Structure 1
Amino acid sequence: MKILVIDDHALVREGLHQVLKGLDENVSVLQAGTCEQAFALADSHVDIDLVLLDYHLPDMTGLQALDVFGKNHPELPIVMLSGSANVQIMRQVLQSGASGFVTKSSLSDELLHAVRLVLNGDVYSPSELGSDFGALSFDGANAKPPLTQRQELVLRELLDGRSNREIGSSLNVSEETVKTHVASILRYFDVQNRTQAVVAAARCGYRPTSAA
């Protein structure tokens, strides 16, 4: 598992690194103090699983950085971190494409919960938003958000009949990461196994990579 942490304070980055070991003792944490450094790392490490992005950075705002990541690396889930618990900011961040928002005053367990949830393909809504987040829409009041680009890549590999290990090798990600994406795909199509997912995906127009 590889996570990119973006914050202009070295002590904060180191603290987050220690917290993230709660996910996996061997988690690989890349650190960047500016957006420029972060974009370079994202370009050179294609196997990043998640980004923790500070809302206040010296060279760009968190929202601006979120927009750049969305254009250049749309498959990367991003959790925004902020010292502010402003509900309007939370809502704006989530509507702009972030997969989660965590305040820096949160306990480490809450951050780990948010990261696990996002890695499973879900969206983490902070408690401060209450039920308001239900009003946030993607393309309509109750529209289901689309699969992420990474999930679509995994799905097409499933359609090719490849195993988790083969998919991991093909996409240059860990087998554990593939399992996480497969679980998200099963939930997305509301099915119980890979075979059912393949059938459901084919009905929705998805095709194997060999047919793309």
Structure 2
Amino acid sequence: MKRLLIADDHLMIGTAMVYLLKQLDPTVEAIAVGSATAAMKALGDNGTFDLVLLDYDMPGINGIKGMAMIHEAYPDQVVGIISGRTEPQLVKTAVDAGAVGWLPKSMSDQPLLHALRMMAAGGRFVPTDVLDEWHPEDDRWSIFSDAEQKVARLLAKALSDKEIAKELQIEPKTVRNHVRAVLKKAGTDNRTKFALAFQE
């Protein structure tokens, strides 16, 4: 993750995050703005970012509405939500609407940096306690990125890496990388356990 845009109507919070990230990783270029509208302007002025982080509770245009606005203008822009709230239904609504994750403002330094990097790389981050409260039938695939979901669904059918690569028309090496990520996120240490836990 090299370029991050943070939109929070409490500019002190956004500015503090910019400072914190610069201390944790000097290579990160972070910009803080005070609204979703300002985030749109920053995108227009600077091009897309590795990750745009929107505060959920911004007045006027909240994070989810702001995300829809950004995705309409920049369909490929990766967007996550940050908030002091962690109600499972709110988180699920954001993820279903296209957010790559939901970051609680209470997160400590290193976990925050790890979550930001994961989201910027195309992964999905949702707090563990929130995941525990989601109905497993509705959300079990949501911990994976879109590409990982495709692999995970075939992995759950006990297909081999070679069969998955052929089915998705991607390289076997790419499949192996996705499989490792899928097993790690699912908390399973082998393919058989994953298939048993996630078979449809």
Give TM-score, length-normalised by structure 2: 0.66
Matched, 1:124 2:114: no
Query: Where does residue 103 of structure 1 map in the other structure?
Result: 104
Query: Where does residue 83 of structure 2 map in the other structure?
Result: 82
CA shift in 2, pair 1:74/1:136, >3 Å: farther
Query: Where does residue 52 of structure 1 map in the other structure?
Result: 53
Q: Which runs of 5+ in 2 are unaligned?
A: 149-169, 178-200
Q: Which runs of 5+ in 1 are unaligned?
A: 148-184, 193-212
- Taking the aligned partners of 1:33 and 1:75, their CA distance within structure 2 comes to 22
Query: Where does residue 136 of structure 1 map in the other structure?
Result: 139
Shift of residue 91, structure 1, vs aligned partner? 0.9
Shift of residue 133, structure 1, vs aligned partner? 7.4
- Taking the aligned partners of 1:7 and 1:47, their CA distance within structure 2 comes to 18
* Paired residue secondary structure (1:48): coil
Q: Give the share of equivalent positions with the same residue, in percent.
A: 24
Judge conservation of contact 1:6–1:38 (CA < 8 Å) in 2.
yes
Query: Where does residue 32 of structure 2 map in the other structure?
Result: 31
State the superposition RMSD in angstroms: 2.9
Judge conservation of contact 2:57–2:63 (CA < 8 Å) in 1.
yes
- Taking the aligned partners of 2:55 and 2:172, their CA distance within structure 1 comes to 30
Task: Map 1:1-212 onto structure 2 (within 5 A).
Answer: 1-21=2-22, 24-131=25-132, 132=134, 135-136=138-139, 145=146, 189-191=174-176
Give TM-score, length-normalised by structure 1: 0.63
**Which portions of structure 1, spanning 4 or more consecutive aligned residues, are displaced by more than 6 angstroms?**
141-144, 185-188
Task: String of CA shifts for 1:166-211, please: whole Å, max 9, x gaps.
Answer: xxxxxxxxxxxxxxxxxxx97994157xxxxxxxxxxxxxxxxxxx
